[in-house]
A and B are shown apart, each in its own frame.
Chain A
Amino acid sequence: MSLRTNLATRPFYHERAVQVLLVIAAVAVAAITVFNARQLYALTSKDRALVAAADAAEDKTRGLNRDIARTRTGIDAAHVADVSAAAHEANVAIGQRVFSWTDLFNRLEAALPGNVRLASVRPEIDEQGRLVVTVGVVSKNVTGIEGFLDALEKTGAFQGLLSRQEHESKEGFVEASVEGIYAPSNAGSGGR
Chain B
Amino acid sequence: MTLLARVASEHRRVLVPLGILAVVNIGVLALAVYPLSLKVAASQRRADAAAGRLAQVEHEVSRVHATLATTEQADKDLARFYVDVLPRDVSAARHQTYAHLAGLADEHNLVVTRRTYAIDEAYKGRLQRLQIAMVLTGEYPDIRDFIYALETSPEFVVIEGVTVAEGARLESGLTVNLQLATYFRGDGTHGS
Contact = CB atoms under 8 A, between A and B. Distances in A.
A58 interface: yes
B28 interface: yes
Contacts of A187: none
A44 B37 CA distance: 9
B163 A29 contact: no
Interface residues of B, number: 63
A96 B58 contact: no
Interface in B113-130: 125-127
Contacts of B46: 50-51, 54
Contacts of A61: 50, 53-54, 57
Contact of A50 (B29, B47, B144, B170): B47
Nearest to A120: B163
B51 interface: yes
A86 B124 CA distance: 11
Nearest to A171: B167
B91 interface: no
Contact count band on A: 35 or more
Contacts of A33: 21, 25
A89 interface: yes
A180 interface: no
Contacts of A51: 43, 46-47
A116 to B, nearest CB: 9
Q: Is the interface of A mostly helix, strand, loop or mixed?
A: helix
Contacts of A36: 25, 28-29, 32-33
Q: Is the interface of B mostly helix, strand, loop or mixed?
A: helix
A68 B11 CA distance: 73
Nearest to B20: A29
Contacts of A47: 36, 39-40, 43
Interface stretch (A75-83, A144-152, A160-168): A75-83
B151 A101 contact: yes
Given A75-B68, A86-B126, A118-B170, A13 B81 contact: no
B100 interface: no
B28 A29 contact: no
A47 B33 CA distance: 12
Contact of A25 (B18, B36, B43): B18
Contact of B158 (A72, A89, A93): A93
B188 interface: no
B169 A43 contact: no
A13 B3 contact: yes
Nearest to A10: B6
Contacts of A29: 18, 21-22, 25
Contacts of B28: 36, 40
Contacts of A99: 151, 158-159
Interface of A: 10-11, 13, 18, 22, 25-26, 29, 32-33, 36, 39-40, 43-44, 46-47, 50-51, 53-54, 57-58, 60-61, 64-65, 67-68, 71-72, 74-75, 79-80, 82-87, 89-90, 93-94, 96-97, 99-102, 105, 117-123, 136, 192
